[in-house]
């Protein structure tokens, strides 16, 4: 053989190996498949499958190509050959059934699917794998049959209960979903939190009655405490705190607990303004658990706080009601004394005296005495000083007020209480007409980590900047800040006189919307909600571009929601806040309240 011939043979052999290697390149096969070139892909996947018959990936892609080409005879031949080699691989019967579905032969397809379920091995992983295969093809009924067959094989009806609950959830079958979630809970108490999460997320509000009916039925035969816990939780989800309290009391007595569940429920009920249930829950802890219980003093304090809110947050209250509440506080302090454990009770009584009974000297006396008690927690001491400073300001003693604010600011420099004290001290300077120093402090406090302080500081900073551009406006803003101080001191008539003077002397001043806003706040404090709403509405309509517009719109929405019992109107107004004033500090909260009023589930 000549050298030339040897060279040509060698080149030909090298080319043959290169072609063969290229033909078995899975990347090229994948590219053909992705591009929909099933004929080319089928050739390559067929070769790859022959080389590695254990690869489910190559087999699956080869079958998909044949189905895409509608070469059903060839496809069936490949599947049967694979079943013969691996008769225990039940997923092959699913593949076989999928082929019949593509051929529009539903009966033959079902026969293969059933064969897969019947031949399934009694192995946990095998059951889950087959079920997940059906789920991935949205064949939920077959997945349910798979788990039911698995339960039979394991002789354990609850082994796959949670999986079955998930499948019935996907099908939208609430009764069955609840049934199997409860079965899962009975088998594994550790699932209580997971079950609550799933029900909160996926059980429609009207279907909570289904959950409660099933729980009541089960509790008759099985006193599983998790059922009682879940029943109480279901009532909380529906804001039926009274029924929840009944269940938690039973659970507390049965388990001999310290009342922690009931204490938490009381807080939830109070937040939802169900003060009667909250008070009943706190009273249970006080009367049933006694003074040595760790929740005793907190329960006593919160119960009286709820009584106060029940009276003062209503549409009206009488002096007799306030005096009775005052007597309850005083009797408690007479019995347990004023000191470290009862400090919060003293703070509440002082608030009652200052803001509702209007006995400032008594409020100041209470907190001045508390301030001198030994062993007070540093946070309680700071709160005592801040509140006492507020009362001194209301009483007109500005020097004592700023001294106390400054003490807390110094002791809690980088903490929330310090920021609150710094804000109030700056506001005091604003009240007194020292606008430039106050604005400098507000500019710093705009970066406060406390949202309320940050928002208030931003509002006042912008307000001063907008109204102190010219020396001629100093008199006007001084009148306004003085009126604000009168409002803070609950001297509403004096505040109105200042606002009338401001309106008369400066009829063209840009403070007109602010005057209306402060008057609306006065009417709110006086519980004249209709008048307040009318003024907020005027601001929204007449001063849409001014800085009080978003404040007024949010305040009007809040009035309709909380005071005027008009949730539909409130929802409409909240929507306007985040739609028309998307950059407002109220936008996020308005969107949240809008969604709650619309009935959205909040996580």
288-330 per-position pLDDT tens digit: 998 889 999 899 889 988 988 888 775 567 888 889 999 989 9
Average pLDDT over residues 113-123: 93
Average pLDDT over residues 276-288: 95
User: pLDDT at position 27, please?
Assistant: 85
Residue among 424, 413, 412 at smallest CA distance from 453: 424
What is the C-alpha to C-alpha distance for residues 91 and 566, in angstroms, rounded to an integer?
59
Structure tokens at 591: 């969107």
Residue 189 located in a structural domain: no
What's the pLDDT tens digit per position in 25-36?
A: 788 888 877 777
pTM of the model: 0.68
User: pLDDT at position 30, please?
Assistant: 80
Question: Would you say 76 and 99 are in contact if contact means Cβ atoms under 8 Å apart?
Answer: yes
Residue 207 located in a structural domain: no
What's the pLDDT tens digit per position in 416-437?
A: 999 999 999 999 999 988 998 9
Residue 87 located in a structural domain: no
Residue 72 located in a structural domain: no
Residue 9 located in a structural domain: no
Residue among 128, 186, 178 at smallest CA distance from 153: 128
User: pLDDT at position 602, please?
Assistant: 60
Work out the percent of the chain whose per-residue pLDDT is above 90.
Answer: 61
Residue 196 located in a structural domain: no
Residue 496 located in a structural domain: yes
What is the C-alpha to C-alpha distance for residues 552 and 537, in angstroms, rounded to an integer?
7
Average pLDDT over residues 137-158: 94
Residue 107 located in a structural domain: no
Structure tokens at 202: 């996926």
What is the C-alpha to C-alpha distance for residues 70 and 85, in angstroms, rounded to an integer?
24
Give, in order, the Cα–Cα distances in Å from 165 to each of 161, 181, 284, 443.
6, 5, 37, 55
Question: How many domains does the chain contain in total?
Answer: 1
Reply yes or no on whether the pLDDT at 122 is more than 50: yes
Instruction: Please state, rounded to an integer, the average pLDDT across all residues of the chain.
Output: 89
The CATH number for 533's domain is 1.25.40.10
User: pLDDT at position 165, please?
Assistant: 96
Average pLDDT over residues 171-192: 93
Range of the domain at 508: 467-598
User: pLDDT at position 8, please?
Assistant: 41
What is the C-alpha to C-alpha distance for residues 544 and 551, in angstroms, rounded to an integer?
11
What's the pLDDT tens digit per position in 42-74?
A: 888 788 888 887 788 888 787 888 888 888 898
What's the pLDDT tens digit per position in 437-467?
A: 999 999 988 887 787 888 889 888 888 888 8
Question: Would you say 407 and 417 are in contact if contact means Cβ atoms under 8 Å apart?
Answer: no
Average pLDDT over residues 3-21: 45
């Amino acid at each position: 053989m000549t050298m030339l011939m040897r060279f040509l043979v060698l080149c030909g052999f090298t080319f043959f190996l290169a072609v063969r290697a290229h033909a078995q390149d899975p990347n090229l096969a994948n590219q053909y498949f992705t591009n929909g070139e099933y004929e080319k892909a089928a050739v390559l996947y067929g070769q790859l499958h022959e080389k590695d018959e254990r690869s489910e990936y190559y087999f699956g892609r080869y079958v998909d190509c044949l189905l895409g080409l509608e070469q059903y005879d060839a496809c069936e031949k490949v599947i049967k050959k694979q079943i013969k080699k691996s008769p225990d691989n039940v997923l092959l019967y699913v593949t076989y059934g999928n082929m019949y579905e593509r051929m529009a032969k539903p009966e033959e397809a079902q026969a293969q699917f059933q064969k897969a379920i019947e031949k399934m091995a009694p192995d946990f992983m095998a059951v889950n794998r087959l079920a997940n295969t059906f789920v991935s093809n949205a064949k939920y009924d077959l997945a349910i049959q798979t788990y039911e067959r698995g339960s039979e094989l394991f002789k354990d009806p609850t082994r796959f209960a949670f999986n079955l609950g998930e499948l019935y959830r996907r099908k939208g079958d609430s009764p069955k979903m609840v049934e199997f979630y409860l079965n899962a809970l009975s088998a594994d108490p550790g699932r209580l939190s997971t079950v609550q999460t799933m029900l909160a997320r996926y059980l429609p509000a009207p279907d909570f009655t289904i959950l409660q009916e099933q729980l009541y039925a089960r509790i008759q035969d099985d006193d599983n405490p998790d059922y009682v816990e879940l029943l109480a939780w279901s009532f909380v989800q529906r804001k039926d705190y009274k029924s929840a309290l009944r269940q938690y009391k039973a659970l507390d007595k049965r388990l001999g607990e310290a009342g922690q569940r009931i204490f938490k429920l009381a807080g939830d009920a109070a937040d939802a303004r169900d003060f009667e249930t909250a008070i009943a829950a706190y009273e249970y802890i006080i009367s049933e658990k006694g003074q040595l219980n760790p929740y005793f003093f907190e329960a006593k304090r919160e119960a009286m706080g709820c009584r106060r809110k029940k009276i003062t947050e209503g549409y009206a209250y009488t002096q007799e009601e306030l005096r009775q509440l005052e007597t309850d506080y005083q009797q408690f302090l007479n019995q347990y004394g004023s000191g470290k454990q009862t400090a919060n009770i003293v703070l509440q009584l002082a608030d009652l005296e200052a803001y509702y009974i209007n006995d400032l000297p008594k409020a100041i006396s209470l907190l001045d005495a508390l301030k001198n008690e030994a062993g007070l927690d540093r946070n309680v001491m700071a709160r005592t000083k801040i509140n006492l400073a507020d009362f001194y300001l209301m009483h007109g003693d500005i020097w004592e007020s700023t001294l106390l604010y400054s003490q807390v600011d110094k002791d809690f420099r980088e903490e929330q209480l310090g920021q609150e004290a710094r804000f109030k001290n700056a506001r005091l300077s604003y009240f007194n007409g020292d606008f430039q120093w106050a604005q400098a402090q507000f500019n710093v406090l705009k970066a406060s980590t406390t949202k309320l302080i940050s928002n208030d500081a931003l509002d006042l900073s912008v307000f001063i900047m907008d109204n102190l551009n010219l020396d001629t406006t100093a008199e006007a803003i001084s009148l306004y800040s003085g009126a604000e101080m009168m409002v803070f001191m609950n001297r509403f008539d004096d505040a109105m006189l200042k606002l009338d003077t401001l309106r008369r002397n400066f009829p063209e001043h840009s403070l007109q919307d602010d005057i209306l806003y402060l008057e609306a706040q006065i009417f709110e404090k006086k519980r004249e909600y209709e008048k307040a709403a009318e003024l907020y509405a005027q601001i929204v309509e007449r001063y849409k571009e001014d800085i009080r517009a978003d404040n007024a719109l949010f305040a009007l929405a809040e009035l309709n929601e909380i005071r005027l019992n008009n949730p539909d109107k409130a929802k409409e107004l909240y929507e306007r806040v985040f739609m028309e004033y998307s950059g407002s500090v109220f936008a996020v909260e308005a969107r949240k309240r809008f969604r709650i009023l619309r009935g959205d589930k909040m996580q």
